[in-house]
Chains A and B, each alone.
Chain A
Amino acid sequence: MKNIYQPIKSEIIKVSDESPNIKTFTLKPSERISFATGQFIELAVDGIGEAPFTPSSSPFETETIDVTIMQVGYVTEKIHQLKKGDIVGIRGPYGKGYPIDQMFNKEVLILGGGVGMAPLRSFLLTLINQIDKFRKIILCYGAKSPEDIIYKLEFEKWKKIKKLEILQSVDKCPTGVWKGTIGVVTCLLDKVKVDLKNVVSVVCGPPVMMKFGTKRLLEYGFVPEQIYLSMEKNMSCGLGKCGHCQLGPYFVCKDGPVFTYDKIKDFEEIWD
């Protein structure tokens, strides 16, 4: 019987700096792990702790897994000190990812903020891989300042893809070097046009951004069923046992982390 808490050892084969406090780690697991975009893994630093992260690479890439990690506390600080060649443990994938086939033949409006772009990169790469199946993809991405924008080189590539429209904003830019929109990411929604009858929105970012993003989408005319949210809750086990990630009767780790807004809108504290 396989112990469900046993991690698979994985080697860090590349570390890329994305912004002053965000790095992408490319991991090569000793056993192949396949995931659906939007699912997450538990990553263990030896003797330190575990934390949940969503792979940011395409699920079609099966040899390696990218995780893009923002340094915010104890475990992530240790992760940021790791180097190429170091070994980490990973468990998973856990949870339910984005229901991609329910989005076929629709317009997809992606709304991302900060390190919330990590799961969205994986999602976007999944869509790009089969772009003919979607009407149109619009990506609205906001970061604190120009230097906080992650995946800069990839954005340049993505901008060339037909059927993919990209809008970016930064909250603040004191030096004036930024030529794009200044303001929180929701202001980008004023600039997009979608067919409300045939569109879904996928939102991932910090809680306040998700809150105001959802509010704005509802004002725009989206119905709750059209809004997919990636919920972040405290997690320990990742597989529906430890109780930490409860959201009403749901366990975010097992019933989520992706929920449509209608499923969770009535529970207290969803944005905290």
Chain B
Amino acid sequence: METKYINNQNWQNFLLNQIEKYDIFSLFVADENNYNYSKLSSKNLNETVIGKYRAQVPIKTFFFPPVEKIIPAAEKKPKIIIGIKACELVHLRLFDSIFLGGEYRDTVYEEARKNTIIISADCTSAKECCFCSVIDGQPYATSGFDINLRPVGNGFVVEILSEKGKELVKKNEHLFQDIVQNYIIESERNRRSVNEQVIRINIKKNINFTKRLNKAVNSVNPEFWNEVSKECVECGGCRFVCSSCYCFLLGELPDFEKYRLWDACQFKGYARVAGGANPKPTKEKRYKNLYSCKFDYRYTNFGFYACSGCGRCIEVCPAEIDIREVITQISADEVRR
């Protein structure tokens, strides 16, 4: 991996050079504690937030919109997305495994993915709901990006990983400088400090679970799921906001056109088959399914959890169900047995 340095002014020039060719999205302030992706223009260039933490809206919306016509599929304009965080890249890894893996490649997703350049950035802070460092991750990316930015001083340490990334940097070579060792040291220090911040947040909340969740999830007492999902109102918010959730329905339009739209295992009709039989008939069964899916089945399929600790489901849940507390309880239950 090649490493360079770019100062803020040059970074803006770099972006200006891309605006013609790409639709560029970057993080901007949404409200007091939140950031979201918006389209970048020469006017709002100064307002982007590269560090901080992840956006409120999940990254999947760029590659797998809530509703999308897939036959005929729309042509995808090349995009650059800036400021993607490590937890989002974990999500993309899962999406790639599902949509590009197996016997069939989902060509609609593939097209969107191919036409997008991913410029990730280290977190410089964490939210109260973040728990990446507790669940096999950390608040900075080590793979899955084209270019990664580590904010330092008046610019960024730039890590260039993929061919796409190399090409883009090469075309603007004059804007980048050789890396200075001090900047690396500074960014490593930042990484350690944010990682510790995440761990501290979670220790304070008594979040502590085993790393072998796959077995534990399926061995707890059915009563447990009744108890945790008691207040769930089945709004599906937690699933829609989760970038690791990929379930969808296909819909038919005249002339054999098709669209697809998000679906979620929390909905009663999700597993219902013709004639009315339903293998996931109750709220508790559906609620358990989501944990089995994330921590057992996808782990069995791909070797990693379908949860990155982004904490979005915690923020959005009107019933105030905290996934961290649930898996902590599952682990405690496993230890007792």
Q: Give me the interface of A with B, judged by CB distance under 8 Å.
A: 1-7, 9, 44-51, 72-73, 76, 89, 206-207, 232-234, 236-237, 239-244, 246, 248-249, 254, 268-270, 272
Contact = CB atoms under 8 A, between A and B. Distances in A.
A243 B246 contact: yes
Nearest to B289: A246
B270 A4 contact: no
Contact of A44 (B99, B252, B275): B252
B274 A72 contact: yes
B263 interface: yes
Given A3-B70, A243-B265, A236 B250 contact: yes
A242 B280 contact: no
- Enumerate the 6 nearest inter-chain pairs by beta-carbon distance, A residue then B residue, closest first: A243-B247, A272-B279, A269-B279, A47-B254, A249-B300, A249-B297
Nearest to B250: A236
Contact of B104 (A4, A243, A248): A4
A9 B293 contact: no
9 contacts: A6-B71, A46-B252, A48-B252, A73-B274, A76-B274, A233-B273, A243-B265, A249-B297, A272-B279
A241 B102 CA distance: 9
A233 B280 CA distance: 11
Contacts of A206: 275
Given A242-B249, A242-B250, A246-B297, A46 B108 contact: no
Given A47-B252, A232-B273, A4 B105 contact: yes
Contacts of A45: 252
Contacts of A243: 246-248, 263, 265, 293
Contacts of A236: 248-250, 263
B79 to A, nearest CB: 19
Contacts of B106: 4, 241
Interface residues of B, number: 49
B335 interface: no
A48 to B, nearest CB: 6
B258 interface: yes
B269 to A, nearest CB: 9
Given A5-B250, A47-B254, A47-B255, 11 more contacts: A4-B104, A6-B71, A45-B252, A46-B256, A234-B271, A234-B272, A237-B248, A243-B246, A243-B247, A249-B296, A270-B279
B142 interface: no
A4 B254 CA distance: 18
A9 B107 CA distance: 20
B1 interface: no
B252 A239 contact: no
A49 B277 CA distance: 19
B255 A3 contact: no
B98 interface: yes
A214 B250 CA distance: 33
A268 to B, nearest CB: 8
Contacts of B275: 72-73, 206
B274 A240 contact: no
A7 B256 CA distance: 8
A50 B265 contact: no
A269 B289 CA distance: 11
Contacts of A268: 285
B103 interface: yes
A50 B289 CA distance: 25
A272 B253 contact: no
Contacts of B265: 243
A73 B269 CA distance: 14
B301 interface: yes
A4 B107 contact: yes
B18 interface: no
Given A3-B108, A50-B250, A239 B255 contact: no
Contact of B247 (A2, A239, A244): A244
B103 A254 contact: yes
Interface in B9-50: none
B280 to A, nearest CB: 7
Nearest to B280: A269
Contacts of B260: 5, 242
Contacts of B246: 241, 243
Given A239-B103, A242-B249, A272-B281, A9 B256 contact: yes
Nearest to A49: B252
